[in-house]
Amino acid sequence: MSGSALYETFARAPLAFDRGEGSWLVTESGERYLDFAGGIAVNSLGHSHPHLVSALTEQAGKLWHVSNLYQIPGQSRLGERLAENTFADKVFFTNSGAEALECAIKTARRYHYVNGQPDRYRIVTFEGAFHGRTLATIAAGGQPKYLEGFGPKVEGFDQVPFGDLEAVRKVITDETAAILIEPVQGEGGIREGSAPFLQKLRELCDQNGLLLIFDEVQSGIGRTGKLFSHEWSGVTPDIMAIAKGIGGGFPVGACLATDEAAKGMTAGVHGTTFGGNPLAMAVGNAVLDVVLEEGFLQSVRDKALLAKQGLASVVDEFPDVFEEVRGVGLMLGLKCRAPNAAVNAALRDEHFLVVPAGDNVIRLLPPLTVSEEEIRVGIDRIRSAAAKLGAVTAKTSN
Ligand SMILES: *Cc1c(COP(=O)(O)O)cnc(C)c1O
């Protein structure tokens, strides 16, 4: 055996944490890191949020798992609350984002099947997309590096450039079932689909009998200052995949749909063993308790403004290191001029955690509960890292 017993699929940082407190992660030796990686947009309410801890421990003392052979009251309740607060009528719970996308893809294909059009199964997707690592979702994402070596690509995904309406129009045929898009691309580098673009996609779907699917696995649950990022555009989808933030660190995902879009998903056609189990549902409900509280999303928007202003000033100060600020709410990106891996490492040296993304971007995904003071500390740490990186850049260019 070489090295560890784990698959070598992750290039892990040489860091291990013992505990988390709000926006902070603490190593065994007591070193504190400001966490704007948030487990990749998962720790929506930071670490060890007291309401989440008590919801999970209370449920853990009562009942862990029964399967979907039985009624699960916490699941019905979370489903109703998601439906009440969105376009959706129906919800299917999963354990991950990729599974939520699988359900979304199956829901769209099945809709056309029960409408007597089984040949309509193709889905339009976008360059730079990320939808997960299952066989269907790597095909949907279309990234060659994720597809390589895994056999024939799952059939039925047609990819076009992000934001290119003409290309979408051209690729639609009578075999097209749906359009699938992240309203704000995460892995792709915090790239926002404009409101007019999303509105035009909605129109195209309506004109052609297609379903519009939003992947809000990363952008959902308050991340952008609205419960879901598509609310900024006024456009609603027919189907939506969510995960990450809804569990606040517990594995939960969900596929949401209108009654009409979900009409093919009848008894026995889809299933899951773990999805929607009592532990996951207790935490999901607890996350919603906080995020839906009066004033919470406004506080995210206020803090986002502060963060964006701070980042903009850092970009102005260090034009050799950074190019621009991107993003909406607390789903923020810094497009780098220096290699983003180097920026990421330099920030880690300042005990500040962020996440690299495509397009040479670093993502900042602080907990929605982050304080204004912590945002200022974060900006200062970026400034320190940039000053060191800038010095290196100046030296090597002389
Ligand atoms: C993370 C992510 C996924 C996949 O979620 P997993 O839980 O890793 O399967 C899908 N779509 C988007 C937009 C994501 O950010």
Q: Please tell me if the CB atom of residue 215 comes closer than 6 angstroms to any atom of ligand 1.
A: yes
- Which is the closest atom of ligand 1 to the Cα of 253? 7
* Closest residue by Cα to residue 181 from 166, 197, 170: 197
The type of residue at 52 is L
The type of residue at 135 is L
* Domain spans, the chain: 51-291, 295-338+346-398
CATH topology for 295-338+346-398?
Answer: Aspartate Aminotransferase, domain 1 (3.90.1150)
Report the residue among 42, 217, 228, 252 best suited for mutation to probe ligand 1: largest number of ligand atoms under 8 A from its CB: 217
Asked if 385 contacts 377 with a C-beta cutoff of 8 angstroms, the reply is no
Does 51-291 match 295-338+346-398 in CATH topology?
no
In angstroms, what is the span from residue 168 Cα to ligand 1's centroid?
Answer: 23
State phi, psi for 361 to the nearest 5 degrees: -110, 150
State the average pLDDT over residues 343-368.
98
Q: Please tell me if the CB atom of residue 243 comes closer than 6 angstroms to any atom of ligand 1.
A: yes
pLDDT, tens digit (0-9, with 9 covering 90-100), for 260-279:
999 999 999 999 999 999 99
Strand 322-328 relative to strand 184-185, pairing: unpaired
Q: Please tell me if the CB atom of residue 132 comes closer than 6 angstroms to any atom of ligand 1.
A: yes
Report the residue among 192, 244, 331, 363 best suited for mutation to probe ligand 1: largest number of ligand atoms under 8 A from its CB: 244
Does residue 394 register a pLDDT over 90?
Answer: no
Distance CA 390, CA 307 (A): 22
Q: Give percent of the chain with pLDDT exceeding 90.
A: 97
DSSP 3-state of 149? coil
For tokens 């994720």, what's the residue? Answer: 146
Question: What is the DSSP track for 14-54?
Answer: S--EEEEEBTEEEETT--EEEESSHHHHT-TT-BS-HHHHH
Asked if 392 contacts 324 with a C-beta cutoff of 8 angstroms, the reply is no
Distance CA 90, CA 75 (A): 12
Tokens (6 digits) for 319: 């034009």
State the average pLDDT over residues 301-318.
98
In angstroms, what is the span from residue 356 Cα to ligand 1's centroid?
Answer: 15
Question: What is the DSSP track for 203-238?
Answer: HHHHHHTPEEEEE-TTTTTTTTSSSSGGGGTT---S
Asked if 325 contacts 311 with a C-beta cutoff of 8 angstroms, the reply is yes
- Which is the closest atom of ligand 1 to the Cα of 187? 15
CA–CA–CA angle 242, 243, 246 (5° rounding):
105
pLDDT, tens digit (0-9, with 9 covering 90-100), for 166-215:
999 999 999 999 999 999 999 999 999 999 999 999 999 999 999 999 99
Tokens (6 digits) for 43: 């720790």
Confidence of residue 375 (pLDDT cuts 50, 70, 90): very high
The conformation of residue 154, written as its DSSP 8-state character, comes to P
**CA 52 to mean position of chain CA atoms:** 20
Query: Residue 398: what pLDDT?
Result: 46
Instruction: Indicate which residue's Cα is closest to atom 10 of ligand 1.
Output: 131
Distance CA 93, CA 281 (A): 9
State the average pLDDT over residues 65-69.
97
Helices (H) and strands (E) in the chain, counts: 12, 17
- Which is the closest atom of ligand 1 to the Cα of 95? 7
Q: Answer whether 0.75 is exceeded by the pTM.
A: yes
CB pairs under 8 A, 24+ apart, for 225-231? Answer: 225/297, 225/300, 225/301, 225/304, 225/328, 225/329, 225/330, 226/297, 226/329, 227/85, 227/86, 227/291, 227/292, 227/297, 228/86, 229/183, 229/184, 229/328, 229/329, 229/331, 230/183, 230/198
State the average pLDDT over residues 145-154.
97
Confidence of residue 390 (pLDDT cuts 50, 70, 90): confident
Query: Residue 294: what pLDDT?
Result: 98
List all residues 6 or more positions away from 113 whose beta carbon is below 8 Å from its beta carbon.
264
pLDDT, tens digit (0-9, with 9 covering 90-100), for 70-95:
999 999 999 999 999 999 999 999 99
Catalytic residue set? 130, 215, 244
Q: How much is the mean pLDDT over the chain?
A: 97
Domain 51-291 -> CATH class: alpha beta
- Which is the closest atom of ligand 1 to the Cα of 133? 9
In angstroms, what is the span from residue 29 Cα to ligand 1's centroid?
Answer: 32
Query: Residue 58: what pLDDT?
Result: 98
CB pairs under 8 A, 24+ apart, for 21-25? Answer: 21/46, 21/47, 21/48, 22/46, 22/47, 22/48, 22/49, 22/367, 22/369, 23/47, 23/366, 23/367, 23/369, 23/370, 23/371, 23/374, 25/353
pLDDT, tens digit (0-9, with 9 covering 90-100), for 13-55:
999 999 999 999 999 999 999 999 999 999 999 999 999 999 9
Q: Please tell me if the CB atom of residue 218 comes closer than 6 angstroms to any atom of ligand 1.
A: yes
Query: Residue 1: what pLDDT?
Result: 61
pLDDT, tens digit (0-9, with 9 covering 90-100), for 207-261:
999 999 999 999 999 999 999 999 999 999 999 999 999 999 999 999 999 999 9
